[in-house]
Structure 1
């Protein structure tokens, strides 16, 4: 996957120093306390990172699946490698969902501080929420296919506990790998889609913020000569 960097407007340099970020969420500790422009840039960086991790995890799970596809059950000696990749998958899913939530909050903060933009941005937050809903539905669908209850995988801790339980039997190990292989493919596609959306949306937000900041600077420059001009006799 080719990484791309954001084009940062020159006006944003001052905003990075001056614009406090609205408190986000989603457990993305790296972007807490950043200015809004910094937060937008860091979200894109995390999107790239998580998309790469999702692709790598899907490849590793697929390789393990291919090694065992002709087996009726999976021997215990193979489980550490399999469970390790399934744990990685759980972490990737949790990180991507957290990033979507944090990016939604950032989009709301941009609109709160800089106004509601035209074009694609008014729907940016809702599209991120729709991504989360779609991803959750796809996860539930995969789990249901393998007779697993999505309520047992509601958070990272529960999912990891369930994986450990499934590893206690040969059939459970096979079921976990089969479900994990399909889910890893879904996750790779979904996280790549999220990364693409965040890259485009956050770039648009940076451009909008730069335009607003430039407009405010122009207004200040046009008013300042009037305010600083010496008062002529008889002016009032």
Structure 2
């Protein structure tokens, strides 16, 4: 679902209803300072779409480079800048997607803290995002192990980029990097697309639930206010 569709839906559902800023209960990548929950939820969907596209494009570029080198016994240094550049893009895509998963889980927890726990999809939403992160990490570790790379040396973006630079210093390392990178890029494209689909479904459910709860509070207020403002009838007490 596109960003403007979510925006129109949100305006209709929450018109006139005050909603707490999203950053008050969470944080993480993608959080908008001062944004309300609906605004944060829309931003997460937008980022999910963006990262899915970036993951697909990066996988395609790495696949092209891999195809150019697959019959080579070693990769010449002149090809390394193109390869390392795309591998750096892949590192950023993976980091951004994992950060978005954490941020979205934080938002889901904050929504439940303010509006209560819904039935159906949402109670397991945060757990499913955590499971996505765990599965992705395990797949990455599996690929690194296949190519005899120590996953402890790829714990964060800075360490990973440093390792890529080190691998570029030898023909064997460059070949190892493009082979592992090509496999990781394919996994990342599939995983980030899965995350994007989960966020669209989960965040739509969040909006629906929040709207239902917010309108319920408004209805209760509209019922109580006339009674409080009604004039007392003589002899009522």
The within-5 A match list for 1:1-236 is 5-6=5-6, 8-9=9-10, 10-15=12-17, 18-21=19-22, 22-28=24-30, 31-236=32-237
State the 1:23 CA deviation. Answer: 4.1
| Structure 1: stretches of 5+ with no match in the other structure | none
Q: Secondary structure at the match of 1:233?
A: coil
Q: Secondary structure at the match of 1:74?
A: coil
Distance 1:188 1:24 in 2: 27
Distance 1:25 1:40 in 2: 12
State the 1:27 CA deviation. Answer: 3.3
1:15-68: per-residue Cα shift (whole Å, max 9, x none)? 4x642213433333x524311110000000000000000000000000000011
| Structure 2: stretches of 5+ with no match in the other structure | none
State the 1:222 CA deviation. Answer: 1.0
Q: Secondary structure at the match of 2:189?
A: helix
Residues 32, 100 of structure 1: alpha-carbon distance in 2 compared, 3 angstrom cutoff? farther
* RMSD, matched Cα: 1.5
Q: Secondary structure at the match of 1:46?
A: helix
TM-score (norm 2): 0.94
1:174-193: per-residue Cα shift (whole Å, max 9, x none)? 00000000000000000000
Q: Secondary structure at the match of 1:71?
A: coil
Distance 2:73 2:15 in 1: 60
Contact 1:135-1:190 at 8 Å conserved across structures = yes
Decide which moves more: 90-99 or 4-13. Answer: 4-13
State the 1:225 CA deviation. Answer: 1.2
Contact 1:31-1:43 at 8 Å conserved across structures = no
State the 1:194 CA deviation. Answer: 0.3
State the 1:8 CA deviation. Answer: 1.8
Distance 2:15 2:181 in 1: 44
Distance 2:165 2:104 in 1: 32
Contact 1:101-1:129 at 8 Å conserved across structures = yes
Contact 2:74-2:172 at 8 Å conserved across structures = yes
Distance 2:29 2:38 in 1: 19
Distance 1:111 1:224 in 2: 27
